[in-house]
């Protein structure tokens, strides 16, 4: 169990420290808007922790009963599943990608790109064929479904193994620095049956799970304030919302989660992960991942394999993880970098602040948060395109990733593998992969002086 800290006392100490520092700010500092409020990145859920547990701590403002529910979910999030029959945690597979939530989201953070592409990891491939299903979503690839499972229990065969080849791209910055990018191309090998010739594959690396409840609580109307599908203001940025089928309500809802905002709720995101990542059936998805496939049904008639109580505990856990506070925001370089972040139009998509609405979970209700995301889809250009549509998201569109906590990735997870497939090995590479609507921002980044680039990176790493 994770260690507890005196959050109230620590908050008072850090806030006092911050206030005393800000009083001595020189006139050379950039005047960031709402500087004091930005310290509370997750509103009252914020914690001031910079250790390897920075992503794994309960929201600072949980009441006693909610904290108990959170800790129950914490236990289940770390539970590893095994082959049925078993006394506990039975039902893994028959085909799957990993055996527990925590294995894909280590320390509730970002999975590293695996050294062995076919080992247990937080990496997998989405799959489909061209077209739309009856609800406007992607069409499952015959014999493979919507996700390729590269693991199987004893006596069964995985759907396929993964293979990747790279193309080298060199970007030259204004100061002469050369950055070598590696563009991946993923294919399937050792398939259990022949894959469709028109199969569409899209790589995924599991992202952090903290702060999700706050993102779910943002009113749809506030997200739509930033939508500009036809680029009416002619700034070259035309974000749009994804609208997806919600299996719980049976209606179309705004997409919030996943790399293409293809899921409306944390409940469906968690239930879908249990099914597709682990082969664990549940109340939302009651059929085995490989139902109807020669390698995909265990025939045990034990579905659903996950109780509704456990599913709800894990959902609550994901809704109530704390958001880590930014660091060094009184630093001269960080403050200059914050202004550059605005000047380069980064904040046009990575919108700093939004406000949540009233919620049944009091801890995430009516909070001003600093996630640095507009929650919308943007065309990121051919370089990042997976050419696989997902509801309203086309093959080159991705949801703006929140930036809160990004600078703690090395501390928490021991790597800096960024973007949807981990191709970027640091923040500089991640920026240089931006294209499409972000092409102008990337060009301006490349034109920065060495000192300006360091300021910008220091700001992003402070979040």
For the cut 80, the answer to whether the pLDDT of residue 395 exceeds it is yes
At 79 the pLDDT is 97
Whether pTM > 0.85 for this model: the answer is: yes
Q: Which two tokens stand for residue 100?
A: 């527990």
| DSSP conformation class of 126 | E
> By C-alpha distance, which of 142, 113, 118 is closest to 130?
142
For the cut 90, the answer to whether the pLDDT of residue 25 exceeds it is no
For the cut 50, the answer to whether the pLDDT of residue 415 exceeds it is yes
Q: How far apart are CA 93 and CA 289, in angstroms?
A: 8
| DSSP conformation class of 426 | S
Q: Is 93 helix (H, G, I), strand (E, B) or coil?
A: coil
CA atoms within 13 A on the CB side of 44: 12
> 131-146: per-residue pLDDT in tens?
999 999 999 999 999 9
Q: Check: CB of residue 326 under 8 Å from CB of residue 41.
A: yes
Q: Check: CB of residue 287 under 8 Å from CB of residue 74.
A: no
Average pLDDT over residues 335-352: 94
Q: Which residue, chain included where needed, has tokens 């000192």?
A: 451
Confidence band of 344 (pLDDT split at 50, 70, 90):
very high
Pick the more confident residue, 376 or 20. 376
At 22 the pLDDT is 33
Average model confidence (pLDDT) for the chain?
A: 92
Confidence band of 30 (pLDDT split at 50, 70, 90):
low
Q: Which residue, chain included where needed, has tokens 């790597």?
A: 415
At 229 the pLDDT is 94
For the cut 90, the answer to whether the pLDDT of residue 31 exceeds it is no
> By C-alpha distance, which of 431, 420, 418, 422 is closest to 398?
420
Q: Which two tokens stand for residue 59?
A: 């929201």
> 290-299: per-residue pLDDT in tens?
888 989 888 7
At 35 the pLDDT is 60
Pick the more confident residue, 290 or 390. 390
> 63-85: per-residue pLDDT in tens?
999 999 999 999 999 999 999 98
Residues 103/107/111/117 CA torsion (nearest 10 deg) = -30
Q: How far apart are CA 147 and CA 126, in angstroms?
A: 4
Residue 431 CB neighbour total at 10 angstroms: 23
For the cut 60, the answer to whether the pLDDT of residue 244 exceeds it is yes
CA atoms within 13 A on the CB side of 436: 21
Q: How far apart are CA 320 and CA 67, in angstroms?
A: 9
Q: How far apart are CA 432 and CA 443, in angstroms?
A: 9
CA 378 to chain centre: 15
> 203-236: per-residue pLDDT in tens?
999 999 999 999 999 999 999 999 999 989 888 9
Residue 129 CB neighbour total at 10 angstroms: 16
| DSSP conformation class of 90 | B
Q: Where are the domains of the chain?
A: 73-317
Query: In this structure, is the dihedral angle defined by the CA atoms of residues 428, 434, 435 and 438, taken in order, positive or negative?
Result: negative
Beta-bridge mates of residue 397: 379
Q: How far apart are CA 125 and CA 113, in angstroms?
A: 13
Report CA Rg, the chain. 22
Q: Check: CB of residue 374 under 8 Å from CB of residue 349.
A: yes
Pick the more confident residue, 138 or 9. 138
Confidence band of 39 (pLDDT split at 50, 70, 90):
very high
Average pLDDT over residues 303-332: 96
For the cut 90, the answer to whether the pLDDT of residue 247 exceeds it is yes
Average pLDDT over residues 10-23: 35
At 29 the pLDDT is 46
At 168 the pLDDT is 98
Percent residues over pLDDT 90 in the chain: 86
> 325-342: per-residue pLDDT in tens?
999 998 999 999 999 999
At 34 the pLDDT is 59
> 170-196: per-residue pLDDT in tens?
999 999 999 999 999 999 999 999 999
> By C-alpha distance, which of 69, 104, 75 is closest to 2?
75
Q: How far apart are CA 437 and CA 342, in angstroms?
A: 16
Q: Which two tokens stand for residue 444?
A: 């301006």
Q: Check: CB of residue 38 under 8 Å from CB of residue 285.
A: no
> By C-alpha distance, which of 12, 17, 111, 97 is closest to 55?
111
At 4 the pLDDT is 43
């Amino acid at each position: 169990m994770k260690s507890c800290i005196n959050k109230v006392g620590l908050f008072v100490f850090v806030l006092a420290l911050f206030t005393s520092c800000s009083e001595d700010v020189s006139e050379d500092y950039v005047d960031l808007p709402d500087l004091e409020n930005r310290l509370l990145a997750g509103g009252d859920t914020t914690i001031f922790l910079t250790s390897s547990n920075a992503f794994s701590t309960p929201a600072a403002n949980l009441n006693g009963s909610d904290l108990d529910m959170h800790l129950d979910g914490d236990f289940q999030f770390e539970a590893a599943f095994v082959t049925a029959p078993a006394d506990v945690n039975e039902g893994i597979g028959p085909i799957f990608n990993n055996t527990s939530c925590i294995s894909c989201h280590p320390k509730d953070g970002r999975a590293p790109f695996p050294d062995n592409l076919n080992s247990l990891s937080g990496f997998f491939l989405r799959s489909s064929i061209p077209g739309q299903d009856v609800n406007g979503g992607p069409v499952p690839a015959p014999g493979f479904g919507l996700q390729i499972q590269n693991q199987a229990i004893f006596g069964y065969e995985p759907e396929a193994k993964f293979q990747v080849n790279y193309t080298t791209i060199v970007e030259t910055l204004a100061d002469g620095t050369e950055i070598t990018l590696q563009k991946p191309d993923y294919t399937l090998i050792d398939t259990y049956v022949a894959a469709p010739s028109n199969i569409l594959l899209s790589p995924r690396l599991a992202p952090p799970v903290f702060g999700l409840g706050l993102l779910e609580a943002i009113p749809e109307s506030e997200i739509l304030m930033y939508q500009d599908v036809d680029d009416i203001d002619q700034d070259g940025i035309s974000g749009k919302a994804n609208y997806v089928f919600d299996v719980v309500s049976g209606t179309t809802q705004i997409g919030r989660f996943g790399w293409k905002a293809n899921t409306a709720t944390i409940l469906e995101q968690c239930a879908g992960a249990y099914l597709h990542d682990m082969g664990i059936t549940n109340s939302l998805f009651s059929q085995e991942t490989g139902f109807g496939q020669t390698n995909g049904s265990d025939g045990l008639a034990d579905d659903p394999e996950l109780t509704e109580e456990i599913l709800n505990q894990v959902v609550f856990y994901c809704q109530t993880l704390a958001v880590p506070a930014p660091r060094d925001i009184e630093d001269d370089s960080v403050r200059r970098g914050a202004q550059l972040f605005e000047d380069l139009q980064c904040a046009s998509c990575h919108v700093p602040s939004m406000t949540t609405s009233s919620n049944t979970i009091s801890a995430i209700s009516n909070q001003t948060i600093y996630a640095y995301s507009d929650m919308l889809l943007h065309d990121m250009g051919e370089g990042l395109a997976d050419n696989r549509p997902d509801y309203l998201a086309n093959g080159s569109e991705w949801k703006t990733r929140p930036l809160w906590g990004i600078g703690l990735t090395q501390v928490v997870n021991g790597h800096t593998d960024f973007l949807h497939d981990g191709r970027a090995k640091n923040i500089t590479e991640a920026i240089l992969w931006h294209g499409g609507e972000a092409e102008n921002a990337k060009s301006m980044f490349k034109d920065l002086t060495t000192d300006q680039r360091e300021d910008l990176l220091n700001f992003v790493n402070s979040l």
